[in-house]
Structure 1
Amino acid sequence: MNLNSFSKPQIAIVAAVLYTAIMGIGMFYMKTFMGITYGQPEMMNLLWFILILLNIVNIFWVTRYFSWQAIGFRRLNRQQLLWFLPLIAVLIATWVVFLSGLARVSLSAAQWQSFALVGFTTLLVGFGEEIMYRGIVLHAFLTTGRVRWAMLVSAIAFALLHAVNVFGGVPLLAVPIQLLNTFQFGFFFAPLMLKLNNILPLIIFHWLWDFVQIVAPSLVDEQTATAMRSIVQLSDPIELIGGIVMWLQIKQVPERAIADLPKPVNL
Structure 2
Amino acid sequence: MRVQPQAWIAVAVVVGYAAIMGATWFFTGTDYETVGSTAASAMQGIVLPVALASLFTAAVTYWLGWWGPALRDTPTGPRWLLVLPVLIVLTALGNLLSHGFEGVEARLVLTLALGTLLVGFGEELTLRGVAVVGLRGSFGEVGVWFFSSLLFALLHAINLFFGQSAAATLQQMVFAFAIGTALYVVRRVTGTLVICILIHAFWDFGTFVAGASTGAATPFAVLALFQYAVIVVAIIGLVLVLRQGRASTQRAHVKAA
**TM-score, length-scaled by structure 2:** 0.81
1:53-68 to structure 2, matched below 5 A, reads 53-68=52-67
The 1:14–1:246 alpha-carbon spacing in structure 2 relative to 1, beyond 3 Å, is same
Match of 2:255 in 1: none
1:178-193 map, 5 Å: 178-193=172-187
Match of 1:231 in 2: 223
1:244 to 235, 238, 257: 235
Letter in 1 for 2:18: T
Shift of 1:5: 7.5
CA distance 1:181–1:8, shift in 2 (3 Å): same
Do the aligned partners of residues 29 and 245 (structure 1) sit closer, same or farther apart at CA in structure 2, a change above 3 Å counting?
Answer: same
Q: Identify which range, 90-99 or 19-28, moves more after superposition.
A: 90-99
Q: Which runs of 5+ in 2 are unaligned?
A: 250-257
* Equivalent position of 1:146 in the other structure: 140
Select which of 81, 91, 102 maps to 2:89: 91
Q: Which residue number corresponds to residue 132 of structure 1?
A: 126
Of all paired residues, the percent bearing the same amino acid is: 19
Shift of 1:9: 1.8
Of Structure 1 and Structure 2, which has the larger fraction of its residues in helix? 2
CA RMSD of aligned residues (A): 3.0
Residue correspondences, number: 242
* 1:123 aligned partner: 117
Question: Contact 2:31 / 2:163 at 8 angstroms: preserved in 1?
Answer: no
Check the 8 A contact 2:160/2:169 in 1, yes or no: yes
For residues 10 and 41 of structure 1, do their structure 2 counterparts lie closer, same or farther at Cα, with a shift above 3 Å needed?
Answer: same
Higher mean C-alpha deviation, range 160-169 or range 211-220: 211-220
Letter in 1 for 2:9: I
Which residue is 1:263 aligned to? none
Q: Give runs of aligned pairs for residues 16-35 of structure 1, distance below 5 A.
A: 16-30=14-28, 33=29
Change (3 A) 1:91 1:147: same
The alpha-carbon deviation at position 72 of structure 1 amounts to 2.0
Residues 106-135 of structure 1: CA distance to partner in whole angstroms, max 9, x if unpaired?
97xxx1111100000000000000000000
> In structure 1, what is the Cα distance between the partners aligned to 2:57 and 2:163?
26
Evaluate the alpha carbon distance shift between residue 186 and residue 112 of structure 1 in structure 2; reply closer, same or farther with a 3 A threshold: same
1:164 counterpart residue number: 158
Q: Provide Cα deviations, 1:201-244, integer angstroms capped at 9, x if missing partner.
A: 111101111111211343462122x742x432431x32332232
Would the aligned equivalents of 1:158 and 1:182 in 2 still touch at CA under 8 Å? yes
Alignment of 1:251-262 (within 5 A): 251=243, 252=245
> Aligned-pair distance for 1:98?
4.6
Kindly provide the amino acid, as one letter, of the partner of residue 37 in structure 2: P
**Kept after mapping to 1: 8 A contact 2:85/2:186:** no
Report the residue type matching 1:126 in the other structure: G
Partner of 1:214: 208
The alignment's TM-score, normalised by the length of structure 1, stands at 0.78
Question: Structure 1 CA distance, aligned partners of 2:67 and 2:91?
Answer: 32
Q: Which residue of 2 aligns with 1:259?
A: none
Assess if the C-alpha contact under 8 Å between 1:51 and 1:125 holds in 2: yes
Does the aligned pair in 1 maintain the 2:21–2:49 contact within 8 Å?
yes
Q: One-letter code of the match for 1:123?
A: L
Q: Distance in 2 between matches of 1:138 and 1:64?
A: 17
Q: Provide the rounded CA distance (Å) in 1 between the counterparts of 2:5 and 2:32.
A: 39
Distance change in 2, residues 1:89/1:62 (3 Å): same
Q: Which moved more, 1:16-25 or 1:179-188?
A: 16-25
